[in-house]
Amino acid sequence: MQKNNLSFESENLVVDYITLSVENLHDQKDIKKLARYCFNVLNFNSFLTDWKTKNINEKLYSSSIKNYYILIKTNYWHRTLIEFRGKNAKKFYQLIKLQKVDWKFFHPSSLRLSRFDICYAQTNHSNHTRKLLDQFLVDSRRKILDETRTKNLVLKDSN
């Protein structure tokens, strides 16, 4: 069998969002233990957030010299969410690939991957202009309206 050399990097794909879901991780002691591990070993600042308002309730472990962070959301349908966004997700995924993550801190018996987003990273060339983007969006809208049943599509400039 021939090995496939495809990777996210070879296809210009970037990990953009990772959310882990843990059941029965409500004890503040366990949450702080996880946050301390992420801070001391993985180099992520950690913040406790309210899942409804999305406001940061508490800085669990934080230092201005650390460039990455995680959000921990408690009481989300009896689960705790551990959220990595943007460059934080990319870094966490790199740590997973390098097998640097000690999963015991994430309560593996009830751990689930609840969200994993990748995006296509196209470099911005000097010939990319606002006019070309606008034309692409107009053409895309026309194609969607002409070739699907979707009729509620609106392009709106929010500036």
Distances (CA, A) of 133 to 75, 107, 129: 41, 45, 6
Q: Would you kindly state where each structural domain of the chain is located, as residue ranges?
A: 9-120
For the segment 74-96, what is each residue's pLDDT rounded down to a tens digit?
Answer: 877 788 899 999 999 999 999 99
What is the overall mean pLDDT for the chain? 85
pTM: predicted TM-score of the whole model, two decimal places: 0.73
Distances (CA, A) of 102 to 34, 95, 98, 114, 143: 10, 10, 11, 19, 47
Tokens (6 digits) for 40: 């001391």
Phi/psi region, residue 43 (left: phi>0; alpha: psi -120 to 50; beta: rest), is: left
